[in-house]
Amino acid sequence: MHRDPTIARPMPAKRTPPARARTSRPEGKRKPRAAKPKRGYLHGYTPDEQDRLQRQAAFLADAVHDRLPFRRCRQLLEVGCGTGAQTEILLRHFPQLMVTGVDRSADNLQRARSNLARVPYCKGRFRLQQGPAETLPFGFDAFDGAFLCWILEHVEDPARTLAEVRRVLRAGSPVVVTEVMNATFFLDPYSPDTLRYWRAFNDTQLELGGDPYVGAKLGNLLLGNGFVDIHTEVKTFHLDNRVPAERTEFLAYWTELLLSGAPALAQAGKVAPEVITGMQRELQRVARDPDAVFFYSFVQARARVPSV
Ligand SMILES: C[S@@+](CC[C@H](N)C(=O)[O-])C[C@H]1O[C@@H](n2cnc3c(N)ncnc32)[C@H](O)[C@@H]1O
């Protein structure tokens, strides 16, 4: 009987785990890890947030989907597929692909199902499955490529997630991981309330078990999981008077992103209401300033499972 390798099934009892790179740290002197007391998701799963994810994927598509190495892939795994916004772009760019999206949110998967069902070229070319990134519900060697976008920043254990990705990929498969590097954000005119809010936004993400600085760590994480041919690219939005229209569009997008965390941050008492209103004022001022500067970088890493 033909068995679909992407359907969840119990893990085989034994298999040698992927080689993890050794570090020079002596046994018993492990690097202390920050306590991760809570789990959570700063952006939430409201219909507004789902709409925002759709707009975000379209808005950043040129930067995220530039020359992806999936032309020879047939079975692509997308971890943290959310509302299927990236899935739709992947299926458009690679007509031979079948994409399996996994996400822990049933609400986002439901939205992905209805979004993708409306797109003719996606018909019959995607599967969606609920599950945790850290324990992927797939067997060994089920896929020949993997795509992760804005997901490692939210998982409790990015190293374990990448170990899982490696486990389910065949030898030689490419993986592309796109992630935030939130220490890079700057605005001119100087906007102190926005920076206060941003600090609270990032600290809360850390408290919730995520990592808003994970972009800078992608090289180490991939190396530590035995991936090879690792390349990281820092992609920067440096928007000033050279590109005024793009700057205006981007500031509107960024304002929406910042405000997407505001209800959760205010409710948890992480930011004072005055800081949120101050930030809104500052963002309006930056949007009106003819000499405004927006600066932000994210990191995209490409790597491969070693060939046997
Ligand atoms: C910011 S969204 C990005 C969605 C999609 N990759 C995109 O770019 O539009 C992050 C997604 O990761 C999912 N997620 C967060 N932590 C997860 C975990 N531990 N396991 C599986 N999915 C997770 C969330 O449910 C959410 O759908």
Rounded to 5 degrees, what are φ and ψ at 123?
-55, 125
Mean pLDDT on 130-148: 98
Which of 151, 162, 165, 182 has most ligand 1 atoms within 8 Å of CB, for mutation?
151
Q: What is the pLDDT of residue 12?
A: 34
150 lines ligand 1 (CB under 6 A): yes
How far, in Å, from the CA of 178 to the mean position of ligand 1? 12
Look at residue 251 and tell me whether its pLDDT is greater than 60. yes
Spell out the domain ranges in the chain: 47-304
Neighbouring CB atoms inside 10 A of 171's CB total 11
Q: Hey, what amino acid is at 111?
A: R
CATH 3.40.50.2000 fits domain 47-304: no
Q: What is the pLDDT of residue 145?
A: 98
Neighbouring CB atoms inside 10 A of 47's CB total 10
252-307, pLDDT tens digit by residue?
989 988 998 898 899 889 999 999 999 999 999 999 999 999 999 999 999 999 99
298 lines ligand 1 (CB under 6 A): no
Q: How many residues does the chain have?
A: 308
Q: What is the pLDDT of residue 38?
A: 53
180 lines ligand 1 (CB under 6 A): no
154 lines ligand 1 (CB under 6 A): yes
E strand spans, the chain: 75-79, 98-103, 126-130, 145-149, 174-180, 186-188, 228-239, 293-304
Residue nearest atom 14 of ligand 1, based on CA coordinates: 80
- 35 vs 233, higher pLDDT: 233
39-96, pLDDT tens digit by residue?
667 677 888 889 889 988 998 999 999 999 999 999 999 999 999 999 999 999 999 9
How far, in Å, from the CA of 228 to the mean position of ligand 1? 25
